[in-house]
Amino acid sequence: MDVLHYARYPFLKDAAEHVRDRGVTLEDLLTHEAYRQARARGKARVLDALEEGVIGLRPMGTEEDMLEEILSYPVARMFVSGVNDRFLTKRYALAEGVAMDARLERESMEVVEEVAFQLGVRLNTEGGEIRMHFSDYLRYTSRMRSKEWKLINTEVKEGQVAMSQVKLARVLQQALQDRIEEELPLPVDTFITTALGADLQELKVRTAVKREQFKAEDFGKISVENFPPCINHLIGMAQAGENIPHLGRFALTAFLHHIGLSSDDILALYATSPDFDQGKTKYQVDHITGQTSGTEYTPPECATMKSYGICYEPDSLCTNPKANVRHPLSYYRIKNLPRRGAKGENVPTPSIDSRSSPPAEPR
What would the pLDDT profile of 14-50 be if each residue is shown by its tens digit? 999 999 999 999 999 999 999 999 999 999 999 999 9
Same domain, 73 and 164: yes
Same domain, 76 and 146: yes
pLDDT at 351 (0 to 100):
44
Which is more confident, 269 or 349?
269
Q: What total number of domains does the chain contain?
A: 2
Q: What is the 3-state secondary structure of the chain?
A: CCHHHHHHCCCCHHHHHHHHHCCCCHHHHHHCHHHHHHHHHHHHHHHHHHHCCCCCCCCCCCHHHHHHHHHHHHHHHHHHHHHCCHHHHHHHHHHHHHHHHHHHCCCCHHHHHHHHHHCCCCCECHHHCEEEEHHHHHHHHCCCCCHHHCHHHCCEECCEEEECHHHHHHHHHHHHHHHHHHHCCCCCCHHHHHHHHHHHHHHHHHHHHHHHHHCHHHHCCCCHHHCCHHHHHHHHHHHCCCCCCHHHHHHHHHHHHHCCCCHHHHHHHCCCCCCCCHHHHHHHHHHHCCCCCCCCCCCCCHHHHHHCCCCCCCCHHHHCCCCCCCCHHHHHHHHHCCCECCCCCECCCCCCCCCCCCCCCCC
Which is more confident, 321 or 347?
321
Q: Which domain holds residue 244?
A: 216-336
Same domain, 132 and 43: yes
Structure confidence at residue 349 as a pLDDT band (50, 70, 90) = very low
In a domain, 353, yes or no: no
Residue 281 has pLDDT above 90, yes or no: no
Same domain, 269 and 302: yes
In a domain, 361, yes or no: no
In a domain, 359, yes or no: no
In a domain, 75, yes or no: yes
CA–CA gap between residue 107 and residue 93 (Å, rounded): 21
Decide if 161 contacts 134 (C-beta within 8 A).
Answer: yes
- The residue from 139, 166, 198 where one domain ends is 198
Same domain, 180 and 226: no
Decide if 55 contacts 11 (C-beta within 8 A).
Answer: no
Same domain, 288 and 319: yes
pLDDT at 358 (0 to 100):
62
**pLDDT (average), residues 353-360:** 54
In a domain, 362, yes or no: no
- The residue from 171, 198, 225 where one domain ends is 198
Same domain, 180 and 283: no
pLDDT at 347 (0 to 100):
40
**pLDDT (average), residues 6-20:** 95
In a domain, 87, yes or no: yes
Same domain, 102 and 235: no
